[in-house]
Structure 1
Amino acid sequence: MTTFTHYINGSWVTPVHNETITVENPATKETIATTPSGTAEETRQAVQAARSAFGSWSQTPASERAGYLSRIADLFEQNKDHLARTLTEENGKVLALSEAEVDTAVDYFRYMAGWARKYEGEILNSDRSNENIFVMKKPIGVIGGIIPWNFPIFIFARKVAPALLTGCTAVIKPAQVTPVTAGEMMKLIHSIGLPDGVLNIVYGKGSSVGSTLASHENIGMVSMTGSKPAGTAVMEAAAQTMTKVNLELGGKAPAIVTKHADLDTAVENIYQSRMINNGQACTNAERVYVHEDVAEAFTKRITEKMKQATYGDPLQDSDADIGPLVGQEQLDSVTDMVNEAVKAGAFVETGRTPAENTDGYYFEPTVLSNVTQDMNVIQQEIFGPVLPIVTFQTMDEVIEKSNDTEYGLSSSIFSENMHEIMKAVNGLEFGETFVNRENFEAIQGFHAGRKQSGIGGADGRHGLEEHLETHVVYMQYKDDIQ
């Protein structure tokens, strides 16, 4: 069993008390690691270390900072197998997906390193003679990064890479459920000689570590990926010091299948969009709206596809399509939502129950038909391998139903009719719309939600600029130079 400690100011720090958090393998329920349950005081120490390092780090040339990012990428790539197996062991996702997550993190560090000489300010014309106006972009300060349990390696890269590239320093709080990968990544990063205090890790609960990060006066921005309730708590804490927040919260992505859709394309991509990470991603296809003319054919095909999906311990069964859910709480939540829908009249095409004869937190891939708009499986995040299907007649109707949610992160449409596609693109109230493809964003795009799915965003130039603040300088000069 592995034991981790906080990483503060360039050193592994002995916790101030003996309270620990136990980490288990969701495929076997075996304990695999422990971490300290950090305190507010330890969090403040990490913030102070990051603040002390900020001055010199922010003055380090961006090209030099980019060099550190490139070395991190190289180390992650060289240790891909170890990081991927560690991720699968603590999270439960299939090994191929864990390997892909490491690859994406490597790409992310390299992509952000490439921005070192590209982000820039402006020079504006003044209304006065002998004056220029400079618009400068400066690092916002210390980033408080709060990492979710569903993509702990990729989101670590998404928080850390742009922060360090722009001259910010950071304090990272890993998720309680999946903290092991953060420790393994930090071991690698420690070996490259990153200046003390530039990157710190404090393990613990949101109620102690997270709230302290969000409310600390020396935090320039709190960047959090997680649930809506957790995001609300972060906003409330950050409001005490008017700290900027960047929040990626829940999603309830609709997938629209029109009567002009290529059903083979729709079935394959909606299956992928639902099943990736065992259904535990904020961009997963959480509900499907199918035109009544093709509903029977689509439902039959997607049901057969879901029936064929296999599940098992990803470290023991390399052929498994999905692994377990992340824990008992998640398994109970998915089970309750499906049972509630069935009680309200939904029909089970396949699945429904927790998987039998398994040691871990497995749930059978499930398809529900005869679902209505008011059911919780349509209104709230399921976060599991469950696909509810609703039929529609017109594009106006399906756009209205798709927008009938408090969330606004991702959406998709499957159609060969450009008029239907453009009507949906212009009518859907979501930060992302995927057309005839699976729900998976590009690192050079901009991943952002509307409504209660969050504030701000990540990826690409726009995500990079979230870590910068604007400083305007009015520069007067004299004509009569002696």
Structure 2
Amino acid sequence: MSVPVQHPMYIDGQFVTWRGDAWIDVVNPATEAVISRIPDGQAEDARKAIDAAERAQPEWEALPAIERASWLRKISAGIRERASEISALIVEEGGKIQQLAEVEVAFTADYIDYMAEWARRYEGEIIQSDRPGENILLFKRALGVTTGILPWNFPFFLIARKMAPALLTGNTIVIKPSEFTPNNAIAFAKIVDEIGLPRGVFNLVLGRGETVGQELAGNPKVAMVSMTGSVSAGEKIMATAAKNITKVCLELGW
């Protein structure tokens, strides 16, 4: 019997071998076979990823938006090159039928390209000053470090849904996939690594919501947490983030 592959995390531009003893089995829902194992990550791992994202953020924000967009296009090109491999992973770990998995992968690449187009569409606002002959220009700034917490049912696209807008607007991000469907996220991290995205801009931590997820929501260095999942999980994320008045974006279902 073959030994299931043990996946590393992706922090600060490199794959980090797990030094802990606890692992989480990733199971094919159709066959109930263990297909891989991921680290049962802890808050310390999330903190390392957040620290890496914080270090990378100022230099990333300083790049012209069109240059950040070019990195997004490199990611989408990498996705298209590995589309068959990624869709197979989604089928294997998530139980999704092949056709829907292929649609998800293609849609993910298209969405990233769509977000890249917004590099030329930055919007501001001009308002009249209190002083005559003068106007005030309002424009948006990056938040800083953002985090994304993902569900199992649309796992690959939601990496892009959280990552692409964040990176385009000068933020860095730490992603935590569902422990049920992490393999496709590892494939995403490999693409990021292969294209040479500046270290710390995109980070991937593995583990459970009650440990890694809570740190991603409650760390004071995080400017915004975006989470897709259940109402009960969203309530916990919101309560944790509220301690630091952290911005929260929740997409919730039952």
The reply to whether TM is greater than 0.5 is: yes
Give the CA RMSD over aligned residues.
1.0
- Alignment partner, residue 182 of structure 1: 185
- Alignment partner, residue 82 of structure 2: 79
Identity %: 47
**C-alpha displacement at 1:110, in angstroms?**
0.4
The code of the aligned residue for 1:47 comes to I
- Alignment partner, residue 238 of structure 2: 235
- Cα distance per residue 1:65-119 (max 9 Å; x no partner): 0001111111101111000001100000100000000011011100000100102
Equivalent in 95, 114, 117 of residue 117 of structure 2:
114
**CA–CA distance in 1 between the matches of 2:17 and 2:104?**
30
- Alignment partner, residue 7 of structure 2: 4
TM-score normalized by structure 2? 0.97
The code of the aligned residue for 1:107 comes to D
| Unaligned segments of structure 1, at least 5 residues | 251-380, 382-482
Equivalent in 217, 221, 229 of residue 220 of structure 2:
217
The code of the aligned residue for 1:175 comes to S
Query: Does residue 148 of the first structure (1) align with residue 165 of the second (2)?
Result: no
- Alignment partner, residue 92 of structure 1: 95
Structure with the bigger RCO (C-alpha within 8 Å, sep 6+) is 2
- Alignment partner, residue 37 of structure 1: 40
**CA–CA distance in 2 between the matches of 1:236 and 1:103?**
35
**CA–CA distance in 1 between the matches of 2:86 and 2:128?**
51
Who wins on radius of gyration, i.e. which is larger? 1
For 1:8-27, list aligned pairs within 5 A.
Answer: 8-27=11-30
**C-alpha displacement at 1:131, in angstroms?**
3.9
For 1:59-70, list aligned pairs within 5 A.
Answer: 59-70=62-73
Query: Does residue 164 of the first structure (1) align with residue 164 of the second (2)?
Result: no
**CA–CA distance in 2 between the matches of 1:66 and 1:120?**
16
**C-alpha displacement at 1:134, in angstroms?**
2.0
**C-alpha displacement at 1:130, in angstroms?**
5.5
**C-alpha displacement at 1:189, in angstroms?**
1.3
**CA–CA distance in 2 between the matches of 1:100 and 1:2?**
26
Query: Does residue 104 of the first structure (1) align with residue 107 of the second (2)?
Result: yes
- Alignment partner, residue 48 of structure 1: 51
The code of the aligned residue for 2:177 comes to P
**C-alpha displacement at 1:122, in angstroms?**
2.0
| Unaligned segments of structure 2, at least 5 residues | none
**C-alpha displacement at 1:128, in angstroms?**
1.1
The code of the aligned residue for 1:12 comes to F
- Cα distance per residue 1:31-72 (max 9 Å; x no partner): 000010111111111001001100000111110000011111
TM-score normalized by structure 1? 0.51
Query: Does residue 202 of the first structure (1) align with residue 205 of the second (2)?
Result: yes
**CA–CA distance in 2 between the matches of 1:134 and 1:118?**
16
**CA–CA distance in 2 between the matches of 1:201 and 1:78?**
21
- Cα distance per residue 1:206-234 (max 9 Å; x no partner): 11100001011111110000000000000
